[in-house]
Chains A and B, each alone.
Chain A
Amino acid sequence: MVGSNRLSSRILFLYVPLALFTVFLLFPFYWMLIISLKPNSLLLNTKVNPLYLTEFTLRHYRYLFENTEFPRWAWNTAVVTFGATLLSLTCSILMGYALGRFRFRGGNLMGTAVFLAYLIPPTLLFIPLSQVVVRFGIYNQYWALILTYPTFLIPFASWLLMGYFRTIPRELEECAMIDGASRIQAMWRIVMPLALPGVLSAAIFSFTLSWNEFLYALVFMGSGQMKTIPVGTVNDLIRADVFQWGPLMAAAVLGSVPVAIVYMFFVDHYVSGMTAGAVKG
């Protein structure tokens, strides 16, 4: 009797709420997927139950590759994402190292400044920043995003890495330096390998944030062939009021897959990055 009581309370207080959360949080993805595979005849027939897929087609995906600029958008997104991630990571490792390990006047102030920079949202800056981008002659070029994404990537990644570098004992480096290594050698050979999990967290976060960015991509690189996947999908695939839901959802699926894959491989790094970087400080 006690056992069955426990089981029923487990169902009521654990499995049922979990099922509700799962439906709420995953249903939009399910919907995205089935619409991207559904033939138009079924899609527009409001009499049949829309929640199931009775037959499927890859037509919408083919349309995306043959009749739209989607492949070009994907290339643009990849170039910008890798460029911005590489640049931000280099700057952030150096900055995080300096803030986390060196004792110098103004160190605390610099740390606070980085934290505050992290809180400045793109919506506050995008209009004057568009003028800066035009003035520097990089409007509608890859550099427009590769150089502006670091404004939100560097504060976050530096803050995260600062925390990682702080946890590594100073004695390790000091020993290496007594043994004749220069400071730079000690940093590369001793400290960096130990901070690698942090670097990886910073890298996948930078990748995700760059891949997902919308506002700067819309304003600084939003015309002609230079669109990224989110901007191209939202602006070009929605023409007037005629929604081509099939290709739209196919683009949404394909645009989400890269981050979803990276995420699936590195869930724990995401979680530790989120909590170490954003929350614990």
Chain B
Amino acid sequence: MTTAPVRTIAPAAPLPLRQRIRLWIESEPVLAYLFMSPGWLILLLFMSYPFFLGIWISLTDRTVGLPTGEFVGLRNYRDLLRDGVFRLTVLNTFIYGFVTVPFKLLLGLLLALLLNQAFRLRNVLRAALLLPWIVPTALSSLAWLMLYDPVLSPFSWLLKDWGVVEGSIAFLGSRVNAIVSLCVANIWRGTPFFAVAILAGLQAVPHELHEAAAIEGANAVQRFFAVTLPVIRGIVVITTLFSIIWTFADFQLVYVLTKGGPANSTHIFGTFAWQEGIGGAGKLGMGAAVSLYMFPILAALSAILLRYVRSQET
């Protein structure tokens, strides 16, 4: 009781320093930057710094084991453009990144529409069918490596058993076969991602609209295009762009299945950068240049994605 009057007077006098510091720290802008600092510190040290270091390294002939290299200007970039393996790598990456996506999208959409129906064991099946996307890709790729084995492949065994083919199939033996095999494995891994993302979008489709359209005499296909598609369009576009970016910048599946072979004909950017920069001769400058050739494409895709996400928010 006796201290109460003193407190009411206190604000008139200047606040003690400690309290002023506390008030300053607790103001929103200060606290916000304080909160973000640990995260940004890590991102600056291990993301921004290596990014700019990578640009510098790509302009040198630095190799593994030597601390620095000579500045060579754009020589690495120019040499790559003249390298047949690199040009094949660019082509492969585009095939791998863009051809698989329509399959993943269509299969994922179909699977989502199926899983959106009511049936027994629906939740169990939904959980089980997402597994290809959850399990470590390097390990599931090993399963595919054996499924594609020239001698032990069960696909070859079945086809021989049914009399479709005479000998075993060399799934990874030629460039065309290997690329098709890589794409199939990639579609296998990516389809569940599309399915689950689209399935989440389907929950937002108003049931009444479907019923109303059905009463008006629209069939299932018409209802899909008129009612369902407009609602899930945003999710479909965003998922597709994400998938293109990730597939484009993939590494493990190709590393495990072909290591870029046969005869360097199935490399994508990631594996070729690894082989040039780390695996083979350890030409860090050349490897960094291979990686950076991805940048304009990734930047363009990211810009489109960012614009689209922004337009969805408003």
Contact = CB atoms under 8 A, between A and B. Distances in A.
Nearest to A253: B139
B35 A219 contact: no
Interface in B83-105: none
B134 A270 contact: yes
B114 A183 contact: no
B247 to A, nearest CB: 10
Contacts of A281: 238, 309, 312-313
Nearest to A18: B114
A272 B197 CA distance: 9
A17 B110 contact: yes
A230 B294 contact: no
B305 A119 contact: yes
Interface residues of B, number: 99
B152 A43 contact: yes
A82 interface: no
Contacts of A46: 151-152, 157
A131 B239 CA distance: 33
Contact of A25 (B129, B154, B249, B273): B129
Contacts of A126: 273-274, 278, 291
Contact of A31 (B111, B132, B146, B284): B146
Interface in A70-114: 87, 90-92, 94-95, 97-99, 102-105, 107, 110, 112
A281 B197 CA distance: 13
Nearest to A177: B26
A127 B298 contact: no
B159 interface: no
A103 B245 contact: no
B119 A94 contact: no
Name A's interface SS.
helix
Contacts of B161: 49
Nearest to A153: B42
Which of B28, B57, B135 has the largest count of A CB atoms less than 10 A from its CB?
Answer: B135
Interface in A3-46: 14-15, 17-18, 21-22, 24-26, 28-29, 31-32, 35, 43-44, 46
A280 B308 CA distance: 11
B252 interface: yes
Interface string B100-137: 00000001001100100101000101111111101111
B1 to A, nearest CB: 19
B129 A22 contact: yes
B260 interface: no
A267 B200 CA distance: 13
Given A117-B47, A271-B196, 4 more contacts: A98-B32, A112-B306, A126-B278, A184-B26
30 contacts: A18-B125, A26-B129, A28-B188, A32-B142, A51-B158, A95-B38, A97-B35, A98-B36, A102-B29, A104-B29, A104-B32, A107-B32, A119-B298, A119-B305, A125-B54, A127-B273, A127-B287, A132-B53, A150-B42, A230-B136, A234-B142, A259-B135, A260-B134, A263-B134, A264-B127, A271-B196, A272-B200, A275-B201, A281-B238, A281-B312
Interface of A: 14-15, 17-18, 21-22, 24-26, 28-29, 31-32, 35, 43-44, 46, 49-51, 87, 90-92, 94-95, 97-99, 102-105, 107, 110, 112, 115-117, 119-132, 147-148, 150-151, 154-155, 158, 182-184, 208, 211-212, 214-215, 219, 229-231, 233-234, 243, 245, 248-249, 251-252, 255-256, 259-260, 263-264, 267, 270-272, 274-275, 278-281
